[in-house]
A = this chain, B = another copy of it.
């Protein structure tokens, strides 16, 4: 038997127990050209919140009654497609379920002999790709510049900061709580990390960025972005990658410091990693090299069992996870 988590209702504000429901389903039967996959790990990411809503976005929302979307890594159980054999490890978009059948073109074989399998959902997966292209292509930091990254200990932010360090930048994280900040400094090697929950973000960030901010890699938005904007230098860049502080908001935050974008000639640019899909190989190679050289630390929080996925998403949207959030499915 298969088990699935389906969208049960659209949340107003934070998702709740009523947002999802769990259901048993028959084991899917692959047709010619398809592969049956047993999902081993499910990725939980902030973008999933926007799939619960019908607001205009870059990807379609999930319909009520459909399996919740998401990436997994799994193992091939049965193959009716050339190039895939039972036991192969694959990256999938099969969503919140224990098993799924997918056409070969929707799967990517991954090699877990040199990096942990779960990294294909994280540092070497979409979060890593997001960090790589967002920082390098949109942020365009130069050696010696100051890069600020919010959600600094998270799946994307932690990679952003380490890439920026490898590029010779001063890296200042913003994270929620002293434990995450200590991790960003001591383990990830950031030059500084500021706790946005300490109530003096502007003062602390100003002290950590004596030469101002040249690149802001923004994962949080809201008051955090408004504060960073005040410190940005002429011709600086904001990589607008996420607005997690707003994802549950019924009434979005009103950004006050747009004037800084004007007077400092800031380039503020939205980025969605899917736009770089034809260049993922380049990022994978770069990140794998950084990992091999010891310059890419990565932390995961792994919840156990499909039924924990809704709470894991709620936690991610609250910033309660530490590092990359996953759910172990088998």
Contacts and interface: CB of A to CB of B under 8 A. Distances in A.
A272 B265 contact: yes
A252 interface: yes
A262 B240 contact: yes
A269 B267 contact: yes
Contacts of A261: 240, 268-270
Interface string A248-277: 000111111111111111111111100100
A225 B270 CA distance: 16
Copies of this chain present: 2
A58 B268 CA distance: 18
Interface residues of A, number: 36
B221 A264 contact: no
A234 interface: yes
B263 A252 contact: no
Interface in A220-261: 221, 225, 234, 240-243, 246, 251-261
Interface of A: 50, 55-58, 221, 225, 234, 240-243, 246, 251-272, 275
Given A262-B272, A269-B269, 16 more contacts: A55-B259, A58-B234, A58-B263, A58-B264, A221-B258, A240-B261, A240-B262, A243-B259, A252-B257, A253-B254, A254-B255, A262-B270, A263-B270, A265-B269, A266-B270, A267-B269
28 contacts: A50-B263, A55-B259, A56-B260, A57-B263, A225-B258, A240-B261, A240-B262, A241-B262, A243-B258, A243-B262, A246-B259, A252-B258, A252-B259, A253-B254, A254-B255, A255-B255, A261-B270, A262-B270, A262-B272, A263-B270, A263-B272, A264-B270, A265-B275, A266-B269, A266-B270, A267-B268, A267-B269, A267-B270
